[in-house]
Amino acid sequence: MTSKASPSTPTARSGLALLALLWLAGLYLRVPVLVAPALAPFVAEDLGLSQALTGALTTLPVFMLAVGAMPGSLAISRIGPRATLAIALVVTALGSALRGLAPEAMTLMAASTLMGLGIAAMQPALPALLRVWLTPDRLALGTAVYMNGMLMGEFIGAGVTLPVMMPLMDDSWRWTLIGWSVPAFLVAAALFLPRERVSGGTAEADPWLPDWKNPLTWRLGVLLGASGGLFFGTNAYMGNVLEQRGSLDALDSALFWLNLAQVASSLIMLKMARQWVGRPRVIFLMLMIAIVTLALFLLTEGLTSIVFVFMMSFTAGIMLILLVALPPQVARAGETGRLAAGNFTIGYTLSFGVPMLGGLVADLTGQANHAVLAMLIYGLLVMPIAWTLQLPSRNH
């Protein structure tokens, strides 16, 4: 005799549908950001942007990831993670599309800011939604799935925009931005198709402000900053480093493998998430390998250096997924959003600030390697935090 599936135990088909929605939402955590570097030369020429404003097309949304995390947590506590995610997706899509309609630089920056705030609210909403949609034994898999979507979004945004999307959009950077944005509205609508599991408590009663007195908020945030700083910082200064060593012709391949490595790490985590999530020693090992391989990238040249930068990005990507997976694993259901918001606020502030500090040092010394060296030093400083990291017992 077959038993009827209850709302709290989704069937295999509905489970796959939930994972597909999580993957699509994860995709839009990065696609709108990473299309900007590909389109930047066309935007700059059309609107007469300075180098600083051209760079801000990418860096401004990254900074907004830190600024908007707490408003996202507030929304989760008031209207729930699903509605927060849907609204944030719409805001992201609107902001991204409005970039394509911007008549001048300031309107373009305002639209980029709006888009970044939408993405920032999505980030804590996704781990909070896992607690509503998935059973405890599938939390790690759910995180790996949407993080795979996010990291695929980096690769798709950077790699597909110019050869595929732009020709389809009549070679217009404006229509390309709008074209990438439209599917997000469909994903936002689809989020309301699944039935949510019944959970205790009300959204209005949930706390939203990150607990700044909780050491775990800071520890995870600082480690998240190391992972993000290594990846974003290496992307930002790769051209300068290669130019100074006389290898600027290798920039395209270096950036290709640097970003592809994060896709590879997300695929590995689809298989290993249940075994590795919640194990601090794995986080420490990934950080250590990332630091060593980035140092070896600075000390080598040619194909060897690209292999090392691939390994750095690969291990930093695994570390990122391990850290993002922790809030739904260790926090009570109503506090997942606030812990994630605290982690993202700290982590993305550092992911933005440490590479910027490295750039200032490089400007003073005239040595591009010093920009990367700042990230290595930061990684070494936080290694003891990874080694001594203690996690609460998993909340089932």
Please state the rounded mean pLDDT for residues 186-207.
67
Q: Quick one: 250 and 188 in the same domain?
A: no
Same domain, 166 and 35: yes
Q: Are 38 and 63 contained in the same domain?
A: yes
Q: Note the pLDDT tens digit of each residue in 107-151.
A: 999 999 999 999 999 988 998 898 888 888 888 889 889 989 998
Query: Is the same domain home to 163 and 266?
Result: no
- The answer to whether residues 188 and 223 belong to one domain is no
Question: Looking at 167, 192, 217, which one is the last position of a domain?
Answer: 192
Is the domain of 230 the same as that of 149?
no
For residue 328, being part of any structural domain is answered with yes
Task: Specify whether 164 is located in the same domain as 307.
Answer: no
Which CATH number fits the domain that encloses residue 144? 1.20.1250.20
* Dist. CA 239–CA 243, nearest whole Å: 6
Same domain for 177 and 292, yes or no, is no
Q: Residue 378: what pLDDT?
A: 96
> Are 111 and 227 within one domain?
no
| Statement to judge: residues 143 and 274 lie in one domain | no
Q: What is the band of 76 on the pLDDT scale with cuts at 50, 70, 90?
A: confident
- List the domain range (segments joined by +) for residue 47: 18-192
Q: Which of 192, 222, 245 is the last residue of a domain?
A: 192
The percent of residues above 70 in pLDDT, for the chain, comes to 91
pTM of this structure: 0.77
pLDDT, mean of residues 219-233: 92
- Which of 207, 220, 232 is closest to 333 using CA atoms? 207
Q: What is the mean pLDDT of residues 45-67?
A: 79
On whether residue 174 sits in a domain, the answer given is yes
Distances 310 to 1, 242, 284, 288 between C-alpha atoms, Å: 52, 15, 18, 15
What residue spans of the chain are helical by DSSP H? 12-27, 31-47, 51-67, 69-79, 81-99, 105-133, 139-160, 166-168, 173-190, 215-244, 251-276, 280-299, 302-324, 326-330, 336-365, 369-387
* Residue 1 pLDDT greater than 60, yes or no: no
Q: What is the pLDDT of residue 131?
A: 83
Separation between Cα atoms, residue 328 and residue 331, nearest integer Å:
6
- Does residue 48 sit in the same domain as residue 145? yes
Helix (H, G, I), strand (E, B), or coil: what is residue 92? helix
Does 178 share its domain with 291?
no
pLDDT number for residue 8 = 43
User: ∠ CA 226-232-235 to the nearest 5 degrees?
Assistant: 135
Reported confidence tier of residue 44, pLDDT bands at 50, 70, 90: confident
Total structural domains in the chain? Answer: 2
> Is 188 among the domain residues?
yes
